[in-house]
Amino acid sequence: MKFKSTNLLGILILAYCVWNAKDLIQSWFQISLYEHYSWIILAVWLLPWLYFWLIAARSGERVINSTLLGAALLLSLLGRIGALHLLSYIGLALALAAFVPWSVSTFIWLVCSITWMPVSGWAASHLALNYIRYLFVVRLVIAAAASFWLISWERSKFKKE
């Protein structure tokens, strides 16, 4: 597989965004009871990213959205400077989405990234006190539906071509 300079830059920006969002681990495993299993939601949400990464590895060509990478870098940097972790998480989601072919289903998948972010657990815990035990399942189903829809959407486009 050939690596172009844009691939290397994209991977470096992704690594920077991962580094800025490193406090997710602390949030998932130490701080909030509402977030203990959100890493599972992230793993499910990442399935399309892994799917497209494997396709790109097989074909030898990666599609990287430079606009999303620029926005990811900016938001991650602003999140780091202003200690606004949500911006860092959104930057991470944008950096990951930059490696996925852009479509309407990609946008929906990107919006559903909120399910693995700590803000969703916090908001849900304050809005749905009577249903707190179901919140993880709802968030997991939303992430899974978005992920599998994106994969099936893109697979159907490849079959038509």
The predicted-structure confidence for 108-143, as pLDDT tens digits, reads as follows 999 999 999 888 877 777 776 666 677 888 889 999
The pTM of this model reads 0.86
Residue 58 has pLDDT above 90, yes or no: no
Report whether 115 contacts 44 (CB < 8 A): no
Of residues 42 and 57, more confidence is placed in 42
Report whether 110 contacts 45 (CB < 8 A): no
DSSP H helices, the chain, are 5-20, 23-26, 38-45, 47-59, 66-82, 85-97, 104-111, 118-127, 135-160
pLDDT of residue 73: 95
Q: Which residues of 2-17 are buried (b: 16+ CB within 10 A; e: fewer)?
A: eeeeebeebeebbebb
Report whether 99 contacts 64 (CB < 8 A): yes
Residues 7-53 pLDDT 10s: 888 899 999 999 998 888 887 777 666 777 888 999 999 999 998 88
